[in-house]
Chain A
Amino acid sequence: MVTFKVILPANDYMAVLPQIVLVSTALLVLMMGVFKKLVNASAPGFTALAGSLLALGCVLFVGHHGAPSSTFGGMVLVDGFSFFLSLVICIIIALTILVSLNYGNFFNCMRTGEYYSLLLMAGVGMIFMATAGNLILLFVALETMSISIYALTGFHKKQLKSSEAALKYFLLGAFGSAFLLYGFAFIYGATGSLDIIKIAGFIKTHPQMLNMKFLVAAFVLTIAGIGFKISMVPFHMWTPDTYEGAPTSVTGFMATGVKAAAFAALIRVILVPLAPMQHSWVTIMWIAAFLTMTVGNIIALVQDNIKRMLAYSSIAHAGYILLGFLAGTGLAQAGMLYYLMVYAFMNIGAFGVVALLCKKGEEYTSISDFAGLGFKYPLLGLVMSVFLFSLAGIPPTGGFMGKFYLFTQALRSGYVWLVVAAGVNSVISIYYYLRVVVVMYFSPQASENSIVLGSVSPGIVIALATAATAVLVMGIFPSYFFSLAGNSIFSLM
């Protein structure tokens, strides 16, 4: 009989401080629901906001200095990459809560404690995805995020569309997770470990493994599973339906947070450990990136619903970011992170504007509903135009610089034709983004379905102003953010 001594290692709780804060806030917010009579109806929202800001503060306070390290038995990585993505995700959570505060005024179910606690717990999952150093933690984090979001997607209980979106997302999500897990199983089988650093080390020391079928299966299934989350063609089909059906504030959260976390996982799981395999996946990923941006853009061209249009455009953006994945250099990855950050701001902003245009029980999501908006609400129109310009990649917005970095790095790595295709795609995308601007400013307003701004709370004003400013600042002074992203990549474990 062998005796086991359990020696708990000293864990660095500072490394997970933001997550702890978020979970505690989530529970606190949940408790508020119990004492409904004692607390104000809007208290959960503001508590959640305070919690997310506190978490943001923790991320900044803890920061990242010195060499990358790991804690919790290698499960949690403490490096610049974690820091950067935690920062982005905390910003996303805070902005989403700000948007939701206003959205909750239209739809009562959006102001309950459950909503905010699920939002925060999804955030915890996202941050853990970005910081995970072990596939077990990565998977649990991914599921924490996904399960919270399945529920959030169906939060408009009165609308059939929302429930349907939840159903589709749930079934496909569970299906995709199974593939991802099978991939992980093969990684485990091939390398004998689930620890990302050990996997990388094993592959480096056993180059003959690269041709093993196990590793191929591992790559294929993992990329399918993660590709599902980043909505890479052909694993993208859930995206438009879910984005359209979900409550708009949740859609913004999904489009940015899930994508950021999933790309983080992509870099952590595939790009870093399986880098020696790169030459063998180049062609297929080339095709995937090309299809992703092309399909996304082309279908977005013919959409009439702005949420659906933005959903397809988010597929296209995933394609652009995949350029950085293909290019594979450190700077390209920095470009990916930079793009994710800009993307977070511009997309939450755009969905925030859409979320603003609704009154009790119904939303204005058809593009023709935007007619005359630019004149009726000049500031709102301006802000929306900034977001759309940025999405289209027109200078001086952050979207332009993001594309610029990604395309340049892809060019440096020799993907000339793919960059050409990406350029053509950008041009196509300008059409449908600008169509909204054109409708806002040049269409006469139809009187019968004139948009009325409901109550505008200070929260959404702050959120939109922050997002618009960030988009512009990142476009005009990109260096700081780019070097931030670069530093985070170069201290990747």
Chain B
Amino acid sequence: MELLGIITCGGAALACALFVILSRNTVHSALWMVGNCLALGVLFLLLDSQFIAALQVIVYAGAIMMFIIYAIMMLNQRVSDEDSFRKSLLSGRFVVSFLFMVCLLGLGIGLSPMALKGTMGPHARVQYGEINLLANYIFVQGLAAFELVSVLLTAAVVGAVFLARRD
């Protein structure tokens, strides 16, 4: 059952990603990206982390992607002005990427699952992704990072406003 889900959603995610790259229309790319995010969200659900899945859909697919699409609209950049893209499919860059993918796959799959030891014991399995456990982590151990994220967002807003402001 899980495998089926993985294949479906994983396939969808890959296909969306591919279309992000291949679409000539920027808006289409962004919309495919939303699809990719949604597929990933389902994968997260399959991985038993409901909260992250929700975040993925609401924050990523919902907020960030909408923001990007809005920016695209603002720039009035429906069709990207590319001529050389098709050529580059067969260029050295493609080879580099392909080799890179092979390498990553080699590294990523060559894992023996024994080496991984859970820190929580097997029966907590369904819980690791639950929101209260996560909250506990965020506000107890992760407090410093969590607070720093606020600084990060402030900096981003300040910078973005300054750069995009007309003056």
Do A and B truly interact? yes
| Between-chain CB contacts (< 8 Å), 5 pairs | A11-B143, A118-B159, A144-B155, A151-B160, A157-B167
- Complex-state Cα separation, A140 to B119, whole angstroms: 24
Known: A74-B141, A75-B143, A157-B163. A151 touches B148 (CB 8 A): no
Residue among A76, A118, A193 facing the most chain B CB atoms (10 A cut-off): A118
CB distance from B121 to the nearest CB of A (A): 12
Are A143's CB and B152's CB within 8 A? yes
Does the CB pair B136–A141 fall under 8 Å? no
| B117→A134 contact, CB < 8 A | no
Q: Interface with B: A95-103, A121-129, A371-379, A460-468, which one?
A: A121-129
Contacts A4-B136, A16-B144 aside, 13 further interface pairs with beta carbons under 8 A come to A2-B127, A6-B135, A72-B144, A114-B161, A117-B158, A137-B148, A141-B148, A151-B155, A151-B162, A151-B163, A157-B167, A212-B115, A213-B106
In the bound complex, how far is the Cα of B118 from the Cα of A23, in angstroms? 37
Q: Across the interface, do B151 and A7 meet the contact criterion of CB distance under 8 Å?
A: no
The verdict on B110 contacting chain A, using a C-beta distance below 8 Å, is: yes
Query: Does chain A have a CB within 8 A of B149?
Result: yes
Whether B141 pairs with A75 at a CB distance below 8 angstroms is yes
Q: Does A6 lie within 8 Å of B159, measured CB to CB? A: no
Which B residues lie within 8 Å of A189 (CB)? 111, 116
Task: List which B129-167 residues lie within 8 A (CB) of chain A.
Answer: 132-133, 135-136, 139-145, 148-149, 151-152, 154-156, 158-163, 167
The answer to whether A216 touches B107 (Cβ under 8 A) is yes
* B145 A137 Cβ-Cβ under 8 A: yes
The reply to whether A114 and B158 form a contact with Cβ atoms under 8 Å apart is yes
Residues facing A in B77-108 (CB within 8 A) are 104, 106-108
B159 touches A150 (CB 8 A): yes
CB-based A-B contact count at 8 angstroms: 119
Which A residues are within 8 Å of any B CB, using their own CB? 2, 4, 6-9, 11, 16, 23, 26-27, 30, 72-76, 112, 114, 117-118, 121-122, 124-125, 128, 134, 136-137, 140-141, 143-144, 147-148, 150-152, 154-155, 157, 166, 186, 189-190, 192-193, 209, 212-214, 216-217
Nearest residue, chain B, Cβ from A75: B144
Tell me the nearest residue of chain B to A112, going by C-beta: B162
> In the complex the two chains form, is B145's CB within 8 Å of A114's CB?
no
Total B residues in contact with A, Cβ cutoff 8 Å: 37
Q: How far is the CA of A76 from the CA of B152 in the complex (A)?
A: 17
Decide if the interface of chain A is mainly helix, strand, loop or mixed.
Answer: helix
Q: Are B144 and A124 in contact (CB under 8 A)?
A: no
Q: Given contacts A7-B140, A189-B111, A213-B107, is CB(A121)–CB(B154) below 8 Å? A: yes
Q: What residues on B are CB-neighbors of A214 within 8 Å?
A: 107, 111, 115
For B111, the chain A residues whose CB sits under 8 A away are 189, 212-214
Residues of B within 8 A of A147 (CB): 152, 155-156, 159
Knowing A72-B144, A140-B149 touch, does A154 contact B163 (C-beta < 8 A)? Answer: yes
Name the residue on B nearest A114 (C-beta): B162
Of all chain A residues, the one with the shortest Cβ separation from B158 is A114
The answer to whether B151 touches A23 (Cβ under 8 A) is: yes
Query: Are A118 and B110 in touch, CB under 8 angstroms?
Result: no
10 shortest A-B CB distances, which residue pairs?
A: A151-B159, A73-B141, A217-B107, A72-B144, A75-B144, A137-B145, A213-B110, A121-B155, A144-B152, A114-B162
